């Protein structure tokens, strides 16, 4: 069994962490994705600010290497910032 997660089955969540009340919608997203059989990870900075238990953290580089998709919960700045960092890894 491989220790490295399959990229198609691992989804990273990047969350604009200074948004009041963000934990509940993020928990709903995590529950939905996990219920559909995906492994969910947080971007490292997100993990330090969002209060959702049981979700591992990865650096941007690790996300680029091990995740098939990144979902951004935030505004344009959050999306564009992470998109610039993940572009070289071709992670949608």
Cβ contact 14:58 at 8 Å: no
The verdict on whether 76 is a catalytic residue reads: yes
Residue 7 predicted with pLDDT over 80? no
Report the pLDDT value the prediction gives residue 92, as an integer from 0 to 100.
83
What span, in angstroms and rounded, lies between the C-alpha atoms of 60 and 21? 24
Residue 33 predicted with pLDDT over 70? yes
Q: Which helix (H) or strand (E) holds 56?
A: strand 56-58
Right CATH for 7-89 from 3.40.640.10, 1.20.120.1690, 3.20.20.150, 3.40.50.10330: 3.40.50.10330
Tokens of 46: 């997100």
Residue 87 predicted with pLDDT over 80? yes
Read off the pLDDT of each residue in 30-53 and give the average, rounded to a whole number: 95
Ramachandran sector of residue 88 (left: φ over 0; alpha: ψ -120 to 50; beta: rest)? alpha
Residue 45 predicted with pLDDT over 80? yes
Residues written for the chain: 92
Arithmetic mean of pLDDT over the chain: 91
Report the pLDDT value the prediction gives residue 91, as an integer from 0 to 100.
86
Residue 18 predicted with pLDDT over 70? yes
Read off the pLDDT of each residue in 15-31 and give the average, rounded to a whole number: 93
Cβ contact 17:30 at 8 Å: no
Report the pLDDT value the prediction gives residue 1, as an integer from 0 to 100.
43
Catalytic residue of the set 4, 53, 54, 76: 76
């Amino acid at each position: 069994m491989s220790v490295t997660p399959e990229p198609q089955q691992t989804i990273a969540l990047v969350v604009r962490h200074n948004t009041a009340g963000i934990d509940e919608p993020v928990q709903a997203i995590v529950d939905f994705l996990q219920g559909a059989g995906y492994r969910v990870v947080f971007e490292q900075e997100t993990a330090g600010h969002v209060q959702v238990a049981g979700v591992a953290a990865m650096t941007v580089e690790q996300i680029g290497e091990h995740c098939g998709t990144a979902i951004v919960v935030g505004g344009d700045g959050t999306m564009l910032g992470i998109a610039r960092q993940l572009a070289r890894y071709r992670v949608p």
